[in-house]
Amino acid sequence: MATNRRYLLLGLAGVAAAGLGAVAWHWQAGTPAPRVDYTLLDGKTYSSAQWGGRVMLVNFWATSCATCVKEMPEIIATHRKFQGKGFDTLAVAMQYDPPDYVAQFAQTRKLPFGVAIDNTGAIANAFGPVRMTPTTFLIDKQGRIVKQILGEPDFPALHQLIEKLIAA
């Protein structure tokens, strides 16, 4: 496993060195978040156009992703810490994640934020495309991407950034 991970990292470094990395993860701080429509597990439909005026944490995850499952209690804690202060969270389950697994995970973990299943892959494609989980985006009140995090976030640093964005 460690060997495979090293080759994956070396492969990604090689792609980035060749100038091809920007194809998969091209965005810059301040880029407007993509306009996407999504349906939550409760059947209600929303649009990213409704995020204006709030700081948004958009987390792409999967029930089969060990790091995603591990970080979810911290995502929940982050949501609870900042909810009611102009902050919200959206968890986007990847296209390949079975909907019944996602629904059961959300129910048993009592996820306190919206959970969308990206059935067609349209949300992940609009944000990148997102291929790796977890991938988290932090979006400011003006709807601009402030940060993209591949893998588990440094939650104390993330909380500091969220506090700044809420205060702005």
pLDDT in tens, 15-63: 333 333 333 345 677 889 999 999 999 999 999 999 999 999 999 999 9
Residue 2 pLDDT exceeds 90: no
φ/ψ of 138, rounded to 5, equals -110, 125
Query: How large is the average pLDDT for residues 156-166?
Result: 98
Question: Is the peptide bond between 129 and the residue preceding it cis, with omega within 30 degrees of 0?
Answer: yes
Q: What is the Cα–Cα distance from 94 to 14, expressed in whole angstroms?
A: 26
Confidence of residue 12 (pLDDT cuts 50, 70, 90): very low
User: Residue 78: exposed, middle, or buried by beta-carbon count in 10 A (0-12, 13-18, 19+)?
Assistant: buried
Question: Is the peptide bond between 98 and the residue preceding it cis, with omega within 30 degrees of 0?
Answer: no
User: Which carries the bigger pLDDT value, residue 4 or residue 29?
Assistant: 29
pLDDT in tens, 60-118: 999 999 999 999 999 999 999 999 999 999 999 999 999 999 999 999 999 999 999 99
In this structure, CATH architecture of domain 31-167 = 3-Layer(aba) Sandwich (3.40)
Q: What pLDDT, on a 0 to 100 scale, did the predictor assign at position 30?
A: 81
Q: What pLDDT, on a 0 to 100 scale, did the predictor assign at position 27?
A: 63
Domain spans, the chain: 1-26, 31-167
Q: Taking the complete model, does pTM exceed 0.75, yes or no?
A: yes
Residues in a beta bridge with 56? 88, 139
